[in-house]
Amino acid sequence: MNRDEVEWDKFTHLFDKNYYPIYFKDQKVEEVEHLIQGNKTMHEYEAKFTKLSCYASHLIANDRRKAQQFMKGLQPSTSRAVAPVNHQVYSKVVTSAYNIDINHMKTQKLLEENDKRKEKNFESR
C-alpha cells in the first residue's frame, strides 16, 4: 500500500466511525435481513435492497449470496418463478424478477380490462 491508500483507509475508517456508528450499521443490517418487497414495485424493492446492501457486506459477501438475499424478500409468486434461474448471478436474478413483474402487471391489466368489458356488456342488457 502506498501512502495515499493508507491515508484514504484511515480517513474512511474515521469517517465511518464518526458518522455511521455501530448501532446505525446494526439497524441497517437488520433492515436488509428482513427486507421484503411487500407492496413495493420491483424498482422500489431493488433500489431499497441496493441502498441497504452496503451496510451488510457480510450477508452479501459474493454475488451468489447477494442474489439469495434479494430473492428472500421477493413476493412469493415472483420468488417461485425466479427459482429456476441460476442463483449464482445477482444481475440474472434481478432481470428475471423484473421480467416476471412486468408480465404479472400486463396480465393484471388484461384481467381488469376483461372485467370492465364484462361489466359493460352486462349493464347494456
- pLDDT beyond 70 at 15: yes
Cα 70–chain centre separation:
5
What band does 125 get if pLDDT is binned at 50, 70 and 90? low
Mean pLDDT taken over the chain: 87
pLDDT tens-place string over residues 30-81: 999 999 999 999 999 999 999 999 888 888 889 999 999 999 999 999 998 9
Instruction: Yes or no: say if 96 and 85 are a contact pair by the CB < 8 Å rule.
Output: yes
Instruction: Yes or no: say if 73 and 37 are a contact pair by the CB < 8 Å rule.
Output: yes
Q: In this predicted model, which residue has the larger pLDDT, 93 or 59?
A: 93
- What is the reported pLDDT for 6? 66
pTM, entire model: 0.74
**Amino acid found at 35:** L
